[in-house]
Amino acid sequence: MKIDAKGLNYRELNERIHDAVSNGVEEIDLVNVLGQRYIGTGLDREVTLNIYGTPGSDLGAFMDGPIINVFGSGQDDIGNTMNGGSIIIHGDAGNVAGLSMRTGKIFIKGSVGYRAGIHMKAYQDQCPVMVVGGRAGDFLGEYMAGGKLILLGIFKKEKDPVAGRYIATGMHGGVIYVRGGVNKNQVGKDVAVEEVDNEEKAEIKSEVEEFCRHFGITRIDDIMASPFVKLLPKSSRPYGKLYAY
Amino acid sequence: MRMMPPEFMVKISDSCIKCKRCINECSFGALRFENDRVVADHDKCAACHRCTAFCPAHAITVEKFPAIFKDNYLWSQDVLKSLWKQSESGAKILTGAGNDKPYPVFWDKMLLDACQVTNPSIDPLREPMELRTYLGKKPDKLEFWQDKKGDIKLTTVMEPQIKLETPIIFAGMSYGAVSLNVQLILAGAARELGTIMNTGEGGLPQELSEYKDHIVVQCASGRFGINLSYLNSCAAIEIKIGQGAKPGIGGHLPGEKVTEEISRTRRIPSGTDAISPAPHHDIYSIEDLRQLIYALKEATRYKKPVGVKIAAVHNVAAIASGVVRAGADMITIDGFRGGTGAAPQVIRDHVGIPIELALARVDEQLRREGIRHMASIIASGGIRQSADVLKAIALGADAVAIGTAALVSMGCHLCQKCHTGLCAWGIATQKPELIKRLNVEEGIKRLVNMIKAWNLEIKEILGALGVNSIESLRGSRERLRGVDMDEVYLDVLGIKPAGR
């Protein structure tokens, strides 16, 4: 099914998507998307949305199940508090991608803005994953409480650092893998930077393979040839000693 | 080095029958049995009065430890004790419950009117009194259509409303800060009374699912336990921006309180800190707030009202105007006397403004801008009794939210040890042996009784005011007079002084 988003405001567009999904449509092509917010927000079925254009903020917020392919770039708050499904962005993403996401995967071919992956959480077998192909802005993985963030730094200028300042500030769970390593002075003070062992490298590889499959990238071995570091919280209770009772 | 004398002294009289009940009841470990008698460790006493209430021989009294300091208005004992505690720990002092400092209580400086001779009062025993309240966005205007039969029908599409049988709702208190039994009592009482409770930011325990039509679920900066089923299991959604007891800071449930059950409800591993960042990181402006309000509306297909809770701070009226323009259906203003499960003492005691002043200013600002109907105002933070409810409504609130008062009905004695997790009354604790002290059925009965009593008192006053519905008092500041206040405060409150 195809919906032409031209001239539709977000509420009309999303109403059509919800109507189609409740009528059992399993795949929708959305063309001429231009900044409409909340596409896929609140959808709880395993449908596929193919977005041509630039979707607005809160793409896939609170969603649980859909696969969203964006053939273009995304704006802010992609996958906000999402609970399941996948979001695949073939361009760049704005700020706060994956805020508080709990399950599901976000793949961004290019770069992300500030605060990507902030406060991601895991619980039992629910583990959110975000893979970023380019670079990330400041505060990557801030307050991170769980899940996996993989930053590849493959689509960026050689001299640009792979991430901005204050990486993982306040991190108290989960793991961030950075290809090529980070400067320690970019990292939050309660975060440990460690080598990645072979077992973990295999885990990273399986995510990178999925990333490459989405974007038609074939040089997986090249990507994996670079060393990775992992960022971990030194404590699951970074603020435990601040209070007197 | 020991600097601090105890705050309280536990005296056990000769009438003690040595049953040791008090020792079992004391969750703070202040009592023990030694040399064939009950001995008290005064340092550990919180003055929660669990022991005095349960001593069958009335043999226990808790007193203030006799003052041993030289009188000093500036350097009070509280100040000295805080300094010593900081000197010992190097940490910020954590506390619970609400601000207990002697700032003015404006509720106690306002008096209600009554009818005499020229306008008749109404007897609530004989005449119906309407307390029903609807929360939600009201339309700019109502449009009607008359069909061929002559029947008149409403054509305006109404935004979703919450129907309440009393203007009193229960404030957000999270599972984690309070026990599951507290939330079950709030939910059970809300259903019986025709009102709503609020989950706070700790997610929705599955035991509460049957009460979903009487529950407001919160979306706070930690986003704990939020998924689509959570957002759809409710009467309304509230975005928590701030809390009166701790404006401007986040929340922080320490790892030791994150039990298996809490972990399941918040969807985080047990034993890890549950951190709510100070701001929502997707909200740095009114425009961003609008984006989240509509994200929640989109996620629930516009079936749920979305409210926003803010703390009463200096520019609260301008902020509230922005919140309403951002699309909130309800705005909760939480004053600086609001309670908390845990907050740094310096914040609890020194940040924010009184709800009375904040409420008056917000109502006035929204009226002046012609947007008062676009959102209901809920006032909270130190509402203690039915008189406070009436005064809040006369100042412009649509409803009030009570937290501490509801907990008091369940047995809270305001010992302010909520942050320790040792609550002897089973309220602010996650210890199974303490939680079971709070009987859910009895708790519901007590809370329902208290609100019924308030409802009766509210009707009594409405009758005395000569009106027969709470709606008629709403925003009617003419029915309030101020005493013991200077002109500036009278002006802020928008009321006349008594005698005029």
The verdict on a CB contact (< 8 Å) between A41 and B281 is no
- Note the pLDDT tens digit of each residue in A70-115: 999 999 999 999 999 999 999 999 999 999 999 999 999 999 999 9
> Strands B133-135, B110-112: parallel, antiparallel or unpaired by DSSP?
unpaired
CB-CB contact of B259 with B430 (8 Å): yes
Residue B271: the pLDDT is 85
Tell me what ipTM this predicted complex has: 0.96
CB-CB contact of B411 with B438 (8 Å): yes
- Structural domain contains residue B422: yes
**d(Cα B246, Cα A182) in Å, to the nearest integer?**
36
Q: Are residues B318 and B413 in the same domain?
A: yes
Q: Which residues pair with B243 in a beta bridge?
A: none
Q: Does B263 touch chain A (CB under 8 A)?
A: yes
CB-CB contact of A132 with A104 (8 Å): no
The verdict on a CB contact (< 8 Å) between B88 and A77 is no
Residue A155: the pLDDT is 84
End-to-end CA distance of chain B: 60
- Structural domain contains residue B101: no
Q: Does B267 touch chain A (CB under 8 A)?
A: yes
CA separation, residue B195 to residues A241, B88, B165, B246, B335 (Å): 40, 46, 6, 26, 21
Residue A240: the pLDDT is 72
**d(Cα A127, Cα A118) in Å, to the nearest integer?**
14
How confident is the prediction along chain B (500 residues), in pLDDT tens digits per residue? 778 889 999 999 999 999 999 999 999 999 999 999 999 999 999 999 999 999 999 999 999 998 678 889 999 988 999 999 999 999 999 999 999 999 999 999 999 999 999 989 999 999 999 999 999 999 999 999 999 999 999 999 999 999 999 999 999 999 999 999 999 999 999 999 999 999 999 999 999 999 999 999 999 999 999 999 999 999 999 999 999 999 999 887 878 888 999 999 998 888 888 889 999 999 999 999 999 999 999 999 999 999 999 999 999 999 999 999 999 999 999 999 999 999 999 999 999 999 999 999 999 999 999 999 999 999 999 999 999 999 999 999 999 999 999 999 999 999 999 999 999 999 999 999 999 999 999 999 999 999 999 999 999 999 999 999 999 999 999 999 999 999 999 999 999 999 99
Overall number of domains in chain B: 2
The verdict on a CB contact (< 8 Å) between A143 and B277 is yes
**d(Cα B212, Cα B231) in Å, to the nearest integer?**
10
User: Which residue carries 């008090």 as its tokens?
Assistant: B22
Q: Does A213 touch chain B (CB under 8 A)?
A: no
Protein fold of A2-233: Pectate Lyase C-like (2.160.20)
The verdict on a CB contact (< 8 Å) between B255 and A237 is yes
CA separation, residue A103 to residues A4, A64, A84, A86, A99 (Å): 30, 8, 5, 9, 12
User: Domain range spanning residue B46?
Assistant: 8-91
Question: Coil, strand, or helix at residue A149?
Answer: strand
Give a three-class secondary structure readout of chain B.
CCCCCCCEEEEECCCCCCCCHHHHHCCCCCEEEECCEEEECHHHCCCCCHHHHHCCCCCEEEEECCCCCCCCCCCCHHHHHHHHHHHHHCCEEEECCCCCCCCCCHHHHEEECCCCCCCCCCCCCCCCCECCEEECCCCCCCCEEECCCCCEEECCCCCCCEEECCCEEECECCECCECHHHHHHHHHHHHHHCCCEECCCCCCCHHHHHHHHHEEEEECCCCCCCCHHHHHCCCEEEEECCCCCCCCCCEEECHHHCCHHHHHHHCCCCCCCEEECCCCCCCCCHHHHHHHHHHHHHHCCCCCCEEEEEECCCCHHHHHHHHHHCCCCEEEEECCCCCCCCEEHHHHHHCCCCHHHHHHHHHHHHHHCCCHHHCEEEEECCCCCHHHHHHHHHCCCCEEEECHHHHHHHCCCCCCCHHHCECCCCCCECCHHHHCCCCHHHHHHHHHHHHHHHHHHHHHHHHHHCCCEHHHHCCCHHHEEECCCCHHHHHHHCCEECCC
CB-CB contact of B197 with B166 (8 Å): no
Question: Coil, strand, or helix at residue A107?
Answer: strand
Question: Coil, strand, or helix at residue A233?
Answer: strand
Query: Which positions in chain A touch B282 (Cβ < 8 Å)?
Result: 76-77, 80, 96, 99
Closest CB from B254, B269, B301 relative to A240:
B254
Residue type, A4: D
Query: Which positions in chain A touch B228 (Cβ < 8 Å)?
Result: 42, 44, 62-64, 83
- Structural domain contains residue B124: no
Q: Are residues B201 and B342 in the same domain?
A: yes
Q: Min CA distance, B151 vs chain A (Å)?
A: 32
Domain harbouring B54, CATH code: 3.30.70.20
Query: Which positions in chain A touch B227 (Cβ < 8 Å)?
Result: 62, 64, 83, 102
Residue type, B298: E
- Note the pLDDT tens digit of each residue in A159-202: 888 999 999 999 999 999 999 999 988 998 889 999 999 999 99
Q: In what order do the strands lie in the sheet with B168-170?
A: B168-170, B399-402, B376-380, B330-334, B306-311, B236-240, B215-219, B197-198
The verdict on a CB contact (< 8 Å) between A102 and B227 is yes
Q: Min CA distance, A116 vs chain B (Å)?
A: 10
Nearest to B423 by CA among B138, B258, B163, B179: B179
Q: Does B228 touch chain A (CB under 8 A)?
A: yes
Q: Does B300 touch chain A (CB under 8 A)?
A: yes
Residue A51: the pLDDT is 98
Chain B residue with the nearest C-alpha to that of A102: B267
Q: Are residues B43 and B178 in the same domain?
A: no
Q: Are residues B346 and B471 in the same domain?
A: yes
Query: Which positions in chain B touch A37 (Cβ < 8 Å)?
Result: 291, 294-295, 298
Query: Which positions in chain B touch A96 (Cβ < 8 Å)?
Result: 281-282
pTM of the model: 0.96
CB-CB contact of A110 with A155 (8 Å): yes
CB-CB contact of B403 with B178 (8 Å): no
The verdict on a CB contact (< 8 Å) between A119 and B227 is no
Residue B315: the pLDDT is 97
